[in-house]
Amino acid sequence: MKKFHTLLPEGSKFNQILCAILINFPVFVYGASIGWMSPMTLLLQSKDSPKGVPLTESEVSWMAAAAYLVCIPADVLLAYAGDKLGRKLLILFISGVSAASWILLLVSIETWALVLSRALVGITMAGSYVTCPIYTKEISENHIRGTLGCLVILFHTTGNLFLYVIGDILSYRTILWVCLALPAFHIVLFMVMPESPSYLVKKGNDEEAVRVLAWLRCRRVDDVKIQEELDVIKIEQKNDEESSKFLLKAIFKDKILFRAFRIALVATLAREVCGAIPVLNFAGEIFTWASEGKALILTPNQQAMLLGLVQVLGSALASSIVDRIGRRTLLTSTALISGLSMCSLASWFVAKHYGAYTPAWLPIVTLCLCIFCDSAGLQPVSVVLTGEIFSFKYRASVMGMTMGLASFADFIQMLFFKPLANSIGIHVAFYFFGGICLVTALYVTLAVPETKNRSLTEIYEDLRPKSDKDSIKSKYDEDKYVGSFRSINIT
């Protein structure tokens, strides 16, 4: 590692980027696991099913829901384990679970194996959105942490698209072998990566934390900037020690922490209830409803490819601009556009019901806009934002809690979207999703501070209630007045 370091110019970002890529590689594998459901469900329900008989709707429903159910407790458990065992060990565990899920599918094609394999995906899902973003944040410098933080969505969407493509050209078992090779390859490579500096400081290993920071920043261990960054981590954790040992009590008792928690919760739930989840899972049926009486019909694989490509383009855009225009602007604009597109689609269905003119291209455009905005802003910014507005002590726990609620919201949507759309009309669902997005845009504008290139102290100053700011200012003015009065008397 040291020898490799000397080949790079001082202050190079290469090691941070390399480490962030390997941290988020399990997310790529998770994305492939999610993408696997689209082409493989069609195959497993066909007369050419590798099982010999087609899977029933009930069996497919259990396969789809198992990951989300397991993810709910896994979010909290992995957040706790990451603080106790370290980020690096947990990343290796996530890749091990991914490998186990693919091995299970290779060993058996029975229904129990299919459902259990999908249940294991719930663990990798939790790790991908709890451990990976936190680990990435803790190895990144302030001015690139947004770009590196968005890798989680870019790798997820690229994994989806990767599986859509190979699912169309390779055989069932060949796909499983390819997917098994990915986590196995990652485990070998990740062995040489360092632990999070914040975790090392928490464990009292300051010497190793300095070495890791020096390697990540491509600087000497005695560089003043390395010592300054170490001091910032120590101050952050010292402040954590002075707060309550009971995390939930501290969060709800402290006004600033509670406002930060509320922002994280709103951003996370808005990401999940913006309409992207049902659109991605039920795109075929949505396109079918929209295409009734129209000539514009896409095959299931064309739909998957189109939406997968749109996702990748959106997440790539987010990674390239989030550190330029800021989190607040990106989140507000994507929420606003997504809300308007969902309301437009709902209005399209209403107009179609009453026999008014409805252009055939509008459903595809609005659905693509929804998916694009989700991957370009709502998803990546919510993940980056949550990691940035909490210190080490609270970061994993808050991420686990918000992701647990998000997983529950996903499960509810998967369970009730189709029945409700069939009973009260699909336009009601899309008006609901659109309303959520528009309210989110308003909330972000009024309540969410900009976090780009800012320290936690600066962010918390914005989150401080106005009454507290006024009292601090009054005390400052009073002290200033008393000082002036004393100087006059002395004169």
Encode pLDDT of 358-384 as tens digits: 887 888 888 889 889 999 999 899 888
The reported pLDDT for the residue numbered 92 is 96
The reported pLDDT for the residue numbered 426 is 84
The reported pLDDT for the residue numbered 136 is 93
Question: CA-to-CA distance for 393 and 396, rounded, in angstroms?
Answer: 7
| Range with lowest mean pLDDT among 2-11, 22-31, 223-232, 422-431 | 2-11
Short-list 343, 338, 353, 339, CA closest to 289: 353
Nearest 10 degrees: Cα torsion 303, 305, 308, 310: -80
In degrees, to the nearest 5, what angle opens at C-alpha 76 toward C-alphas 213 and 183? 60
> And the tokens for 18?
């390399």
Instruction: Indicate the pLDDT class of residue 332, thresholds 50, 70 and 90.
Output: very high
H helix or E strand, kind and range, residue 31: helix 14-44
Decide if pLDDT at 300 tops 90.
Answer: no
Contact call for residues 138 and 9 (beta carbons, < 8 A): no
Give the best-scoring range by mean pLDDT among 236-240, 306-310, 311-315, 467-471.
311-315
Decide if pLDDT at 485 tops 90.
Answer: no
Instruction: Indicate the pLDDT class of residue 252, thresholds 50, 70 and 90.
Output: confident
Instruction: Indicate the pLDDT class of residue 2, thresholds 50, 70 and 90.
Output: very low
- What pTM was estimated for this model as a whole? 0.81
DSSP letters for 82-131 = HHHH-HHHHHHHHHHHHHHHHHHHHH--SHHHHHHHHHHHHHHHHHHHHH
Q: CB within 8 A of 361, min separation 6: which ones?
A: 296
End-to-end CA distance of the chain: give it in Å, rounded.
Answer: 64
Give the best-scoring range by mean pLDDT among 5-14, 225-234, 419-428.
225-234
Contact call for residues 399 and 130 (beta carbons, < 8 A): yes
- With pLDDT > 70 as the criterion, what percentage of the chain qualifies? 87
Question: CA-to-CA distance for 440 and 433, rounded, in angstroms?
Answer: 11
Dihedrals φ, ψ of 149, to 5°?
-65, -30
Contact call for residues 216 and 139 (beta carbons, < 8 A): yes
Q: At what angle do helices 111-139 and 57-85 cross, to 10 degrees?
A: 30
The reported pLDDT for the residue numbered 356 is 85
The reported pLDDT for the residue numbered 368 is 87
The reported pLDDT for the residue numbered 481 is 36
- With pLDDT > 90 as the criterion, what percentage of the chain qualifies? 41
pLDDT tens for 382-441 read: 888 988 898 878 888 888 888 888 888 888 887 777 778 778 888 898 999 999 999 999
| Range with lowest mean pLDDT among 112-121, 245-254, 289-298 | 289-298
> What sign does the dihedral 49-53-57-60 (CA atoms) show?
negative
Residue 133 burial by Cβ neighbours in a 10 Å radius (0-12, 13-18, 19+): buried
Decide if pLDDT at 286 tops 90.
Answer: no
Decide if pLDDT at 98 tops 80.
Answer: yes
> And the tokens for 445?
């504008």
Question: CA-to-CA distance for 395 and 272, rounded, in angstroms?
Answer: 20
> And the tokens for 34?
């999610």
Residue-averaged pLDDT of the chain: 84
Decide if pLDDT at 209 tops 90.
Answer: yes
Instruction: Indicate the pLDDT class of residue 480, thresholds 50, 70 and 90.
Output: very low
Instruction: Indicate the pLDDT class of residue 308, thresholds 50, 70 and 90.
Output: confident
Question: CA-to-CA distance for 152 and 132, rounded, in angstroms?
Answer: 7
Q: CB within 8 A of 409, min separation 6: which ones?
A: 269, 272, 273
The reported pLDDT for the residue numbered 469 is 56
In the chain, the amino acid numbered 467 is: S
Decide if pLDDT at 475 tops 60.
Answer: no
In degrees, to the nearest 5, what angle opens at C-alpha 210 toward C-alphas 207 and 213? 150
Higher pLDDT residue, 325 or 243?
Answer: 325
The predicted model gives 120-139 an average pLDDT of 92
The reported pLDDT for the residue numbered 360 is 77
